[in-house]
Chains A and B, each alone.
Chain A
Amino acid sequence: GQQLNQSPQSMFIQEGEDVSMNCTSSSIFNTWLWYKQDPGEGPVLLIALYKAGELTSNGRLTAQFGITRKDSFLNISASIPSDVGIYFCAGPHMEYGNKLVFGAGTILRVKS
């Protein structure tokens, strides 16, 4: 089953609004990754976080590695229609030989 819990499950927001989503786990992760998946495509890496407390930006996207190492947050500023998609958090989990485990995703829908 999924090791990572993402919330919200889905969001329907107005174009131009800021978006926040998060990912939590009962286990400690040493790396947090945020992916976006468009329909008919594989996931694409947006941001990688490697250090507790780290705050990293990629254009309108900003992600933070929680200081407890059990959570991470992704923010999208001034959303646009092409932000539509499914956002996944992921991390290498020690129980699986450091192979990636993914959350169930947050579905983002934008009203234009």
Chain B
Amino acid sequence: DAGVTQSPTHLIKTRGQHVTLRCSPISGHKSVSWYQQVLGQGPQFIFQYYEKEERGRGNFPDRFSARQFPNYSSELNVNALLLGDSALYLCASSWGSARETQYFGPGTRLLVL
């Protein structure tokens, strides 16, 4: 069975641009969470979606948005990119939205110049 997949693997953008990152959860998983991992730090929670509804949001500005589709895949959108948005963006899937184990994808590495 395929694990969590993310695309693209790497991305280079310039300040002010917009970016869309994509995630496909493990088959059967209905929850997707997004994390930002800046170099030298642990992942920081951005969003959780379950059954296409937002179930949690971390301390990130409104430039960050996400959605989940009927097939449970998800997109993370970031508008008006800043240099500080450069990071590894991780997607994690789980069966439900509570205590279930989260399985992480390999991430998308975003560089903002």
Contacts and interface: CB of A to CB of B under 8 A. Distances in A.
Interface stretch (A43-51, A54-62, A64-72, A77-85): A43-51
A88 B42 contact: yes
Interface residues of B, number: 24
B45 A42 contact: no
B106 A99 contact: no
Interface string A1-40: 0101000000000000000000000000001000000001
B63 interface: no
A104 B101 contact: no
Interface of A: 2, 4, 31, 40-45, 48, 88, 90, 92, 96-105
B48 interface: yes
Contact of A104 (B40, B99, B106): B40
B65 interface: no
B90 A96 contact: no
Given A42-B4, A48-B101, A99 B42 contact: no
Contact of B42 (A40, A41, A90, A92): A90
B103 to A, nearest CB: 8
Nearest to A92: B99
Contacts of B55: 97
Contacts of B101: 45, 48
Residue of B45, B101, B105 most packed against chain A (CB within 10 A): B45
Contacts of A92: 99
B45 A99 contact: yes
Contacts of B103: 45
A100 B45 contact: yes
A42 B42 contact: no
Contacts of A104: 40-42
Given A88-B42, A97-B56, A102-B42, A42 B92 contact: yes
Nearest to B58: A96
Interface in B72-113: 90, 92, 98-99, 101-107
Contacts of B106: 40-42
